[in-house]
Amino acid sequence: MKGALVTTGVLGAVASVLVSCGTLSRTVVAPPQIPGAEYIGDEDCAMCHDVIAEHFATASHARLTAKGDNALGSGCETCHGPGSLHSDAGGGTDNILNPGKDPTICLNCHLEVRSRFMLRSKHPVVMGPDVIQGGLTCTDCHSPHEGSARPGGGGLSGLARNDACLSCHEAQRGPYVFEHEALREGCDVCHDPHGSVNEKLLVARNASLCLRCHFQQQAGPGVVLIGGQNHSEFLSRGTCWTSGCHEAVHGSRVSSSLRY
């Protein structure tokens, strides 16, 4: 069986893609190599990893395994490397690649994410054995095998996305008497989880971030109304949360205007 599946494994290793929420662009990367190992194909992997294979059918990455003339034909070994030594040894961690320990395997395809980890504000992510910025890896937030029917699967959408953030940032979880509606929509409404040119991973700078949702109205020369209130003087002091006003940006137990 292994010999018959070598071709599929090699094709899957040579082809890779860059996947983001809204786009699917192709890029070719060098196939992962393990000295002395050969590609065996997904069917051999699934003989032992049957539960993972079952859930993977509805995972975001599953689209990469599609077959056909124009398909990429990627498989397990595209990320984990050739599996013959791993299979012959009956499993173990010595003869297989683990993206959970080395995010550079993920970043070979997710190039747009790699570039964001080079920005001023970023999560402390392990960037390879020689460049360690911290202890996080991609799989601390993302579950590459889990399908949409599983908690945390399906590409971290909706509530699962917030849960991933709040598992570390517990102080922002609440519950709050007065909620900031943006938190319900998702942490990434305000924060880019991978990296940003702005402090605290913010997707926009200073008051510009708040004004993406809290629209301003020009009521006259030098008069800016937000929510029907004159904010002209406050906007000149800095950000909405550093000018002594809306400091409880995630939510408040005492202030409906999120002042504290």
Measured between alpha carbons, how far is 133 from 123 in angstroms, rounded to an integer? 9
Tokens of 148: 């949409």
The secondary structure element, H or E, covering residue 185 is helix 181-185
Q: Mind listing the pLDDT tens digit of every residue in the chain (260 residues)?
A: 444 343 333 334 333 333 333 344 445 566 688 999 999 999 999 999 999 998 888 888 888 887 777 666 788 999 999 999 999 999 999 899 998 888 888 888 888 888 998 899 998 887 665 544 567 888 888 888 876 545 545 555 555 678 888 888 998 988 899 999 888 888 989 999 899 999 999 999 888 898 888 877 888 887 888 888 888 888 777 778 876 788 899 999 999 888 88
Tokens of 64: 């990469």
Measured between alpha carbons, how far is 19 from 174 in angstroms, rounded to an integer? 33
**CB-based contact 75:49 (threshold 8 Å):** no
For residue 195, give the 3-state DSSP assignment: strand
pTM: 0.75
